[in-house]
Amino acid sequence: MTLHPLYWLAPIAALATLLGGWLVVRYFQGKSSLMRHLSGVAAGYLVAVTLVRILPESIEQGGNGMAYWALGGFLAVHVIEHGISPHFHYGEETHAHEVTWLAGILALIGLSLHSFMDGMAITAAIRTQSSLGTLVFMGILLHRIPEGATISSIFLVRGFGARGSMLAAGGLALAAWLGAVSQEFLKLPVGPVLGLAAGLGLYVASSDLLPQAQKEKGWKSTLGLLTGTLLFLVTSALVQHNHGH
């Protein structure tokens, strides 16, 4: 019996958040350069997969009106990240005096909503019965590592310690898994969910990940962006591109 992709792709993508948190707790606190490089790669991949595959698939599934869902997703992520949390940015948190206990909790709530949307996007992409499931999985896998690093860094600076930081990253991982499961059971229309995912991908790539990569001097951020784009092109060529509808 073949195991449904949901039961292994979604947990792996969710657990990538824990990996990012663990890396910060154990190795990369105060050494943010590697995470910035990964952010550049994730940004390049997300922009490519969103423009080339997710948005067109959303329109194919639900019509031209899906572009408005993408716009809504873009705006929703901004509200989630900067409306709910008054002090939020991706990457290593270094301003301990600005990060209150409440700000840390609000950042966790905001990123949990974002993670829930990620999980829904994986399931919706799998339901297209095409290579989109694999491609979306890769994009979410790449950007969840910096996301786990972000929440762990915020909690470390606030004094929650290694355990509290890992629990925060685990909360994001759980939210992503719940999003994937909820979409599987609710079976919301694929077109609008992918439209929201397209808006989410564009926002996270351009507003969260790329600004972090651009903190690296010279050509390094460009190299990361191009590497992510190339990774998408190679992955697209390797996976079978067929539709079940």
Inter-residue contact 209 to 40 (CB < 8 Å): yes
Of 179, 172, 142, 137, nearest in space to 154 by CA: 172
pLDDT at position 11 is 76
Tell me: the pLDDT tens digits for 3-25? 455 556 667 777 788 777 777 76
Domain boundaries, the chain: 6-23+43-235
Inter-residue contact 108 to 175 (CB < 8 Å): no
Calpha distance 149→213 (Å, rounded): 14
pTM of the model: 0.84
Inter-residue contact 118 to 178 (CB < 8 Å): no
For residue 243, pLDDT beyond 60: no
Tell me: the pLDDT tens digits for 197-216? 999 999 999 988 888 888 88
The more confidently predicted of residues 32 and 138 is 138
Of 39, 75, 47, 40, nearest in space to 153 by CA: 39
pLDDT at position 239 is 85
Residue whose tokens read 């564009």: 202
For residue 194, pLDDT beyond 90: yes
Range in 24-38, 80-94, 113-127, 209-223 with the lowest mean pLDDT: 80-94
Q: Which two tokens stand for residue 202?
A: 């564009």
pLDDT at position 1 is 37
pLDDT at position 150 is 81
Q: Which two tokens stand for residue 57?
A: 């698939």
pLDDT at position 104 is 76
| Cα 193–chain centre separation | 15
Inter-residue contact 139 to 45 (CB < 8 Å): yes
Tell me: the pLDDT tens digits for 16-65? 887 777 777 676 665 667 778 888 999 999 999 999 999 999 999 999 99
